[in-house]
Structure 1
Amino acid sequence: MAANDFTPPGLNRLHRVLSGYVQRGTVPGLVAAVAKGDSTHVEVLGRRDVDRGEAMSRDSIFRIASMSKPITAVAALTLVEDCVLRLDDPVEEFLPELADRRVLKSPGSPLEETVPAERPITLRDLLSFRAGFGGVWNPDWPITAAMQEAGIAPAPPRFSPEPAPEPDLYLRRLGELPLIYQPGEAWLYHMPLAVTGVLIARASGRPFPEFLRERLFEPLGMDDTAFHVPPEKQERLVSAYRVDPESGALELADPGENSIWSEPPPFPDGGGDLVSTVDDYLAFARMLLGGGIYSGTRILSRPSVELMTTDHLTAENRRRGGLVNGAWDTAGWGFGVQVTTARSGLASVGRYGWDGGLGTAWFNDSRERLIGILLTQRLWQSPQPPDVAVDFETGAYAALAA
């Protein structure tokens, strides 16, 4: 470890806090990393599987859920730099299902009450979650039931009773429904990044998993990041747990052995389907913190990284969208990442990252040159990060030496 990056008392405190969550049974186990420059400190605690008692290891494989979104955003930007895609061109050239859209008169209107879209959907709209479609949480809106009936409503990755339809069918069903808002008008979660994966596949002429492997995972050495876990690696996949709402006890959601992730999915969803390890995601995070370059390999240009990690929300977007009330009081949204816009805690303005609802969290802080990655196998219970994630981030900053 390089001198003066982290203090030993700070790292000891971080270990003590994280160990407490494991000892109390809040999470069965975890792998966490804090990094600055060439320094890396990793915590490996608890068990991969509660029943079998398997110890957690640094190379344990986790379902990273929405931490997939920044990876998909980077993949799309590589095609922008290749001049295959343009941020402000209509995506209907490759996604004709999204052409000539109709838009609900209001989000709660009947599906037949629509007006024409004022403009086409662009890649910029998809990456910034302002495409006019996405997750809605009001059960009384007709569009909510329509998305559920079509099998395209956002849900925890692969835990829905019915698997997501394959990409072409997904796009066709999406194209049959009206937009909820005009393109550019509101921030709506998840689905635009799922669609971005289909766009990448069609624009590149290669399956999306293959494109990610060739353009990102192999150059960055992310050997364990993929849409499924092959047989030779399945012993390293952690079991996933959810909280029983009545008893508060942990119950198995998906085993490490014979997991849902043991087979490739019909629809490789770039918004939430990937698995990864702490060292794989560290390579990705270091690439972004390094202005698009990692270990001598250039993935993106520095301007593209800066564009990705800049807040793109307008005042109108802030009024209309968000996962929780007050979501945009001190934060905004870039391309696949949340961006801190006002200091309300230890994080610097400009800090960016995103969490995964199956139990993971990540942030980069360019001012501090700090990376934090937390991987657990307990599903989050709300859009708000749980205490273990909040305390991990606090501990990472508090361990800085200067």
Structure 2
Amino acid sequence: MFKPACGNPVSILRRSCDFLSVLTIAAALVTPALAGTSLLTDKPDLSSFSQDDLNRVTDMLDREVGQGHLAGAIMLIQHRGKPVYYEAFGVRDPATMAPMTTDTIFRLYSMSKPVTSVAAMILVEQGKLRLDDPIAKFIPSFAHPQVATERADASGKPYLDFAPAKKPITVLDLMRQSSGISSAFTNLGLITQLYLDAGLFDGDFDNADFAARLAKLPLAYQPATVWDYGHSTDLLGRVIEIASGQSLYDFQRQYLFDPLGMTDTGYYVLDPAKAPRIAQPMPTDRIIGNETISDPTVKRRWESGGGGLVSTTGDYARFLQMLINGGTLDGVRILKPESVQQMRQNQVAPASDVKPWAYYYPGAGFGYGLGFGVRTGPGEDGVPGFIGEMAWGGAAGTYFWTYPDQDMVMILMVQTPTQRGRIQPILKTLVYEAIKK
């Protein structure tokens, strides 16, 4: 009989010991019972799952930790609002060897985008935003953007050709990643170099400063023509601030985090008592792009709606359950069902003017809604799933996918920038196979 073990200290210690054996640190084996570990009191409904296949999920993550690929991990499979699998593996911090527990705090990076997009939809329902609003209504410096195109002269030397944008950037463009705003993390030649040279992340800046810096840069594409994964959601955060009259965090806390009971979600971890709960990657796995993984205990003015949130598995599960419930959780309504349905509609489709970018992260068989990927077909990458699946991940390895029609939420919490692309498809396949047909 399969038993979820998230609240079982013996189980968590067993997974910690797998990791410790790699590092030959026997002292951690005498860790006392874990304070703060969540206990599952509801009996899960396992009738729709293969126990043998669920055990393969455990074996896979045990193996990843045991081989030293991951410091630790948390895996949640939630069905009809209740966890049927909730396991902690390894340690939350290789330096302290503190065992991984379900209250561990993770850097979400781009898993922040769905949260910020929901905040924008709340403002739409409040009548303070419209999806077709030009963002220049809120940030006038975006009234006349220029679009850069890389060309080559007669000698083959590249140069940038500039032209006015043919249409304004709208709130919808920010939410579906079709604004034309790029980033320093792409591979667009001279355009990317402009973003690299702009000092976007220099000093201690806030969302207003960041928007002003972006406004000085050209777009990589005409608005509403190409899905380009840049700083659109960061700019959306600034629009939310102006439309609401609050900081991004204050608005999200009032209308999302507090109503949903997401007590460990925010942009920084400033409570000293919570700091030891932050997950840390392996010492050799701390680089994302050209940057060291962020330290959420260091307060900065920037609240990055596109990549700055930290959260726990439980908090994020409540957020996702609200979405697949049609905008409500535990009697609290966050969005109307029609707003959630609008967010789930594919915006990058043959019938749309928005075409996939060369580096289209959702991948084959996936479209993109308002803040996350949506499965539109079986996919060409061989990873199984259900049509209508919502999914997204973050640069440090966190990943979620949901099957709304099956009332299922799956969350993988890890901090491993280098291993995420390898383990996510394997894990998704194992979970899918565990669902009895």
Give the partner amino acid of 1:13.
Answer: R
Counting matched residue pairs gives 379
Indicate if the aligned counterparts of 1:2 and 1:38 stay in contact, CA closer than 8 A. Answer: no
Between the aligned partners of 2:197 and 2:408, the Cα distance in structure 1 is 43
Counterpart residue number, 2:422: 387
Quickly say closer, same or farther: Cα 1:203–1:15, change in 2 above 3 A.
Answer: same
* Structure 1 residue 203 corresponds to structure 2 residue 243: yes
- 1:177-202 residue CA offsets vs partner (Å, 9 max, x unmatched): 22111110111113000000111011
Between the aligned partners of 2:54 and 2:434, the Cα distance in structure 1 is 6
Stretch deviating more after TM superposition (389-398 or 34-43): 389-398
1:34-73 equivalences under 5 Å are 34-40=77-83, 41-73=85-117
SS of residue paired to 2:305: coil
- 1:39-72 residue CA offsets vs partner (Å, 9 max, x unmatched): 3020101001112211111100111111100000
Between the aligned partners of 2:119 and 2:151, the Cα distance in structure 1 is 31
> 1:3 Cα deviation (Å)?
4.6
Counterpart residue number, 2:320: 285
Quickly say closer, same or farther: Cα 1:228–1:354, change in 2 above 3 A.
Answer: same
Between the aligned partners of 1:348 and 1:12, the Cα distance in structure 2 is 22
> 1:340 Cα deviation (Å)?
1.1
SS of residue paired to 1:45: strand
Q: 2:193 aligns with which of 133, 145, 155?
A: 145
1:69-148 equivalences under 5 Å are 69-106=113-150, 110-111=159-160, 113-135=161-183, 141-148=189-196
- 1:305-329 residue CA offsets vs partner (Å, 9 max, x unmatched): 11111110144643544346xx553
> 1:176 Cα deviation (Å)?
1.4
Between the aligned partners of 2:66 and 2:317, the Cα distance in structure 1 is 26
> 1:10 Cα deviation (Å)?
2.5
Counterpart residue number, 1:238: 279
Indicate if the aligned counterparts of 1:30 and 1:46 stay in contact, CA closer than 8 A. Answer: yes
Indicate if the aligned counterparts of 1:136 and 1:188 stay in contact, CA closer than 8 A. Answer: no
Counterpart residue number, 1:174: 214
> 1:151 Cα deviation (Å)?
2.4
Give the partner amino acid of 1:131.
Answer: S
Quickly say closer, same or farther: Cα 1:294–1:132, change in 2 above 3 A.
Answer: same
Indicate if the aligned counterparts of 2:181 and 2:220 stay in contact, CA closer than 8 A. Answer: yes
- Structure 1 gaps, min length 5: 153-159
Between the aligned partners of 2:329 and 2:417, the Cα distance in structure 1 is 31
Indicate if the aligned counterparts of 2:72 and 2:100 stay in contact, CA closer than 8 A. Answer: yes
Between the aligned partners of 1:265 and 1:194, the Cα distance in structure 2 is 15
Counterpart residue number, 2:395: 357
Between the aligned partners of 1:136 and 1:52, the Cα distance in structure 2 is 34
Indicate if the aligned counterparts of 1:330 and 1:341 stay in contact, CA closer than 8 A. Answer: yes
Quickly say closer, same or farther: Cα 1:377–1:140, change in 2 above 3 A.
Answer: closer
Quickly say closer, same or farther: Cα 1:253–1:151, change in 2 above 3 A.
Answer: closer
Between the aligned partners of 1:228 and 1:107, the Cα distance in structure 2 is 42
Quickly say closer, same or farther: Cα 1:37–1:260, change in 2 above 3 A.
Answer: same
Say what the alpha-carbon RMSD is for the aligned residues. 2.4
* Structure 1 residue 165 corresponds to structure 2 residue 205: yes
Between the aligned partners of 1:192 and 1:83, the Cα distance in structure 2 is 21
Counterpart residue number, 2:341: 306
Indicate if the aligned counterparts of 1:190 and 1:271 stay in contact, CA closer than 8 A. Answer: no
* Structure 1 residue 371 corresponds to structure 2 residue 409: yes
Stretch deviating more after TM superposition (286-295 or 167-176): 167-176
Between the aligned partners of 2:240 and 2:418, the Cα distance in structure 1 is 29
> 1:172 Cα deviation (Å)?
1.5
Bigger relative contact order (CA 8 A; separation at least 6): 1
Between the aligned partners of 1:60 and 1:122, the Cα distance in structure 2 is 37
Q: 2:255 aligns with which of 194, 215, 231?
A: 215
Counterpart residue number, 2:71: 28
Give the partner amino acid of 1:296.
Answer: G
Give the partner amino acid of 2:236.
Answer: T
Between the aligned partners of 1:313 and 1:126, the Cα distance in structure 2 is 13
Quickly say closer, same or farther: Cα 1:367–1:199, change in 2 above 3 A.
Answer: same
SS of residue paired to 2:255: helix
Between the aligned partners of 1:242 and 1:362, the Cα distance in structure 2 is 25
Stretch deviating more after TM superposition (362-371 or 119-128): 362-371
- Structure 2 gaps, min length 5: 1-43, 153-157
SS of residue paired to 1:114: strand
Give the partner amino acid of 1:83.
Answer: G
Structure showing greater radius of gyration is 2
Counterpart residue number, 1:156: none
Quickly say closer, same or farther: Cα 1:388–1:107, change in 2 above 3 A.
Answer: farther
Q: 2:226 aligns with which of 167, 186, 199?
A: 186
